[in-house]
Structure 1
């Protein structure tokens, strides 16, 4: 059966399984790094459909049970559809699918947001952390953190340098070798900056991946319309999630530079909803930077799993970590600013 006929057949089976009516249109969504996604229009409405590739079904079902509780706390989340048997997942040919009502909005980048929208995004993150704490079991306030050692990181980088070296002439491998070499040099310079092990906090339930592809924004009002993709719901440090979110949203993808003014607005918005100290934010920033310096997960996906979907992140992370190294003091000032920097 031709590929397009397979797609039509799959769409009809998913619509029937979730009781969504006759399929009128079925379109793959190109955005997204881990899962396959489609937009389906039927006689009963528009729906988002996802094929699970990155999390086991049991984990996703647990997450689906939380979403209606968050909606009752005024957190904008997509509500999962259910089969006649009450399952929020549908198995077809050894693959799992879920569906939810289509949420309006656009995936914007941080530079598209005016200052008040940056603050609103931070406030939504604060409300989210409070809502998660209210609807989920009590979480530990502190968590152990064991940063990757310089030696361990060097071993991993050398392993992937050798893997890239075996395929000279491939563009990714050529670029990867240069990036790996830069990271090895940087690691030698900053070996004494490895964060200490031990416990970090405050901790609690977090989304885990509040990046632009998982946030839908109303382009006219710059209001958050939906928080998507809850597969990484887990207990983490609050400051870690806030710093990671800020540095993903407000990085110039061309230069690696952080928009410190927007980061300051984002943090102020969060602090308007939840308390978090300067020391906790600075510590989380240092640990986030160290994760970038020592991180090789994109290389693992490329060389061990033959998954090229995250290749570009290895190089954008490299730009960010080097810019951050040169501007660490001003980054910390933005994270702890009570007013916008001038």
Structure 2
């Protein structure tokens, strides 16, 4: 008799009977909710026909069946090229998206594996990680033309960067030439703290509790919550708007009684960040350059390892056209941040060199991306907005390392830039 080994609240229970009939996947034996993600819901499913990952595309921003089907076609074509992904299974009607009761679901083969933070990777594995992301970006350029063509649409063409120079950071820039930084991304994953969850595909939609993939109000995609209300997507946050946000958050901190350790750290970091922004307010990035297709949320909880090698890149909900090099930089900030808020620059260097070779990205493009993501992080307060404005404390454990990274990065700007471009 079908059963669920872990009780599932009725409001969240997937319609297993209808779904399994649609996929001809046998009868359910067990259905275990996996670690709850911030965007969608997932279930480890065992049936009379095998083991599966059932994904409920719950988040309204990413639940459009046509968009999900497009992601599915992209991952299938990536798999055909040898990229480690987990394409969905097709139902009896040939479709990979099942809509039941107004909700979209997809069934994937279960992938055994574990998530690995950068601290758990050797230098050689870090290089392979960078090469993998470079291959993903290069391969997406190939497959998305065909995917979009199946919908009678053309794939957006990356704009050509105009002449200019790599924007100066707090120190001396390490590369010059045409800027190719692109526009600021729209979905920033939460920062990783190195926690390794249980093995298996189930954590695929979990926000790295510390990414990271992450881009926006953390995993939710709300740019306003991440960088301030006056964000220009072509340039990033306006420091004047960030100063107003800092004042508003400080008022929230002061009003919390009795103050706790989180309040004290939040107050310290807000005052510290305001001083840094006052010093570097003239470093706001100029108009960006080239963009391309990206995964959109590349971080440790969306990559499964088996026997020391990547087994599957999962969670393609944020597939879209954004600056490629900025995704590479953001991913590095999640994979290679230490608990104290510093980066392992030796591993960043190995990762970045391999990424540049695989993606065909030059040092100038990476230097511009470093500057833009640095500015983004300097103006980034999504964790504090979740805590004080939404009453959502899920990102609180990430805040110490994430807030320290912005300060450390500003002080070590030259060294960080060299690690990505050298």
Aligned match of 1:44:
49
How far did residue 150 of structure 1 move?
0.7
Q: Map of 1:159-198 to 2, 5 A cutoff? A: 159-169=248-258, 171=260, 175-196=265-286, 198=287
Q: Map of 1:199-278 to 2, 5 A cutoff? A: 199-201=288-290, 203-218=291-306, 220=307, 222-252=308-338, 254-278=339-363
| Distance 1:110-1:238 versus aligned 2 partners, 3 A rule | same
Indicate which of 25, 29, 34 corresponds to 1:24. 29
| Distance 1:14-1:146 versus aligned 2 partners, 3 A rule | same
Figure out how many residues of one structure are paired with residues of the other and give that number. 331
324-333 or 304-313, which moves further after superposition?
A: 304-313
CA deviation profile, 1:122-142 (whole Å, cap 9, x unmatched):
111111111110111342144
Equivalent-residue separation in structure 1 for 2:253 and 2:73 (angstroms): 43
Indicate which of 87, 90, 109 corresponds to 1:82. 90
How far did residue 9 of structure 1 move?
6.7
Decide whether the 8 Å contact of 1:250 with 1:262 is kept in 2.
yes
Q: Map of 1:27-106 to 2, 5 A cutoff? A: 27-30=32-35, 32-54=37-59, 55-57=62-64, 58-106=66-114
Aligned match of 2:123:
115
Aligned match of 1:340:
none
CA deviation profile, 1:38-72 (whole Å, cap 9, x unmatched):
21111212111222233132322221222211111
Higher relative contact order (CA 8 A, sep 6+): 2
Q: Which runs of 5+ in 1 are unaligned?
A: 338-342
Aligned match of 2:158:
140
CA deviation profile, 1:15-40 (whole Å, cap 9, x unmatched):
34433212222222226443222211
| Distance 1:79-1:170 versus aligned 2 partners, 3 A rule | farther
| Distance 1:5-1:29 versus aligned 2 partners, 3 A rule | closer
How far did residue 168 of structure 1 move?
2.6
Decide whether the 8 Å contact of 1:240 with 1:284 is kept in 2.
yes
Equivalent-residue separation in structure 1 for 2:16 and 2:126 (angstroms): 37
Decide whether the 8 Å contact of 1:111 with 1:250 is kept in 2.
yes
Query: TM-score under structure 1 normalisation?
Result: 0.87
Decide whether the 8 Å contact of 2:31 with 2:43 is kept in 1.
yes
Aligned match of 1:297:
382
Q: Alignment partner of 1:291: what SS?
A: helix
| Distance 1:307-1:99 versus aligned 2 partners, 3 A rule | farther
| Distance 1:313-1:67 versus aligned 2 partners, 3 A rule | same
Equivalent-residue separation in structure 2 for 1:28 and 1:174 (angstroms): 36
93-102 or 161-170, which moves further after superposition?
A: 161-170
Decide whether the 8 Å contact of 1:147 with 1:195 is kept in 2.
yes
Determine which structure has the larger helix proportion and give its number: 1
**Are positions 1:331 and 2:421 aligned together?**
no
| Distance 1:173-1:64 versus aligned 2 partners, 3 A rule | farther
RMSD over aligned Cα atoms: 2.5
How far did residue 300 of structure 1 move?
4.2
269-278 or 259-268, which moves further after superposition?
A: 269-278
97-106 or 299-308, which moves further after superposition?
A: 299-308
| Distance 1:238-1:94 versus aligned 2 partners, 3 A rule | same
Equivalent-residue separation in structure 1 for 2:78 and 2:26 (angstroms): 27
Q: Alignment partner of 2:46: what SS?
A: strand
How far did residue 5 of structure 1 move?
7.0
How far did residue 3 of structure 1 move?
5.2
